[in-house]
Structure 1
Amino acid sequence: MTTEIIDHEEVHAFTIRKEIEIAAPIEIAFEAILDELGADAQMPDGKSLSMKIEPWPGGRWFRDLGNNAGHLWGHVQVIKPPTLLEITGPMPMSYPAVNHVQYRLKANGNETFLTFAHRAMGLIQPEHRDGMPEGWTQWINQIRERAEQKARG
């Protein structure tokens, strides 16, 4: 048996905050978030991420690769349609890390103001930390585009 102790890894933490106005009613914006977290989630190249979300407290958010294979990204911590969704879990990180993602929506007539926050801490790899802002920007823009398209009919 071999035992190895590695004491040079550091715990990192970060927070990403984004705010965006969506030209759609709050109910449609919330539905677009669930769509984007679920079957409609795509990689930057347009390929499906094969994501599923169970939209209830304790529900799983996971990548379903078929044949009982996949990745657990998190669990629904709080859901209060159509104003709040919080998910906590490892997200796309396959190492010791904890993530908390919050989508907070506020109605403004036929428009919605979305405040997004992603907080993480753990042995976070630089490529994840550095790539997250761009990835979340794309994700949030897809939510906005999806909601606005639905609102237009």
Structure 2
Amino acid sequence: MSTTIAEQEVQVICISRELEIAAPIAIAFEAILEEIGPGGELPDGKPFPMVVEPWPGGRWYRDLGANAGHLWGHVQVIKPPTLLELCGPMFMSFPGVNHVQYRLTPDADGGGTRLSFTHRAMGPLPEPVLKGVGTGWDHGLRRIVEIAERLVSERRGGGK
């Protein structure tokens, strides 16, 4: 038996974004669950469906079928339609701790919503992760806006 001891620096990621969604808060929350769930999509447009169990302790995972897949995390806090927090390994196949928060607040007239997003992570993060993680979240946040605004249009009778 052998043991290897290697020193690795622990890096920290802290990504914060704020954006406006032209949709009521309930629809914006629904759009979050769609994007991180069955409607997920990669930046190149390829579908990336996930399963999110929207209750405390619920799993967030990629189901590849035949009992294969990837656990991304668990629902740490859920208070529909204002708050969703996820914690777990996320996309990391190495030691790492992650916490993601989606906090929604309605605007003054209730017709729109402000989304405050944060992702905090720490671990021995490889350079490609440090450089690319913000781009991935930005894509997902844009998709949340698109999904919410599409849902508003559809529910007003505007179709797709």
**Post-superposition offset of 1:58:** 0.2
Match for residue 85 of structure 1?
84
- Structure 2: unaligned runs, 5 residues or longer: 155-160
User: In the comparison of the two structures, how many residue pairs are matched?
Assistant: 152
2:29 corresponds to 1:59: no
Instruction: Report deviation, 1:3.
Output: 2.3
> Among the aligned pairs, what percent are the same residue?
58
Q: Which blocks of at least 5 consecutive residues in structure 1 are unaligned?
A: none
Partner of 1:150: 151
Does 2:62 correspond to 1:38?
no
Aligned AA (1:2): S
- The residue matched to 1:45 in structure 2 has which SS? coil
> RMSD in angstroms over aligned alpha carbons?
0.9
Partner of 1:121 in structure 2?
Answer: 122
Report the residue type matching 2:24 in the other structure: P
Matched letter for residue 62 of structure 1 = Y
Question: C-alpha displacement at 1:32, in angstroms?
Answer: 0.3
Q: Distance in 1 between matches of 2:3 and 2:113?
A: 54
Map of 1:107 onto structure 2: 106
* C-alpha distance in 2 between matches for 1:29 and 1:35: 10
TM (norm. structure 2) is: 0.92
How far residue 143 of structure 1 moved from its aligned partner, in angstroms, is 0.2
- Structure 2 counterpart of 1:140: 141
Contact kept in structure 2, 1:14 and 1:119, CA below 8 Å: yes
CA distance in 2, matches of 1:25, 1:68: 37
Letter in 1 for 2:3: T
Q: When the two structures are superposed, what TM-score results if normalisation uses the length of structure 1?
A: 0.96
Residue 28 of structure 2 is aligned to residue 29 of structure 1: yes
Amino acid at match of 1:13: V
Query: Secondary structure of 2:143's partner?
Result: helix
Tell me how far apart the structure 1 counterparts of residues 149 and 48 of structure 2 sit (CA, whole Å): 22
More strand by share: 1
Q: CA deviation at 1:73?
A: 0.4
Q: Which residue of 2 aligns with 1:131?
A: 132
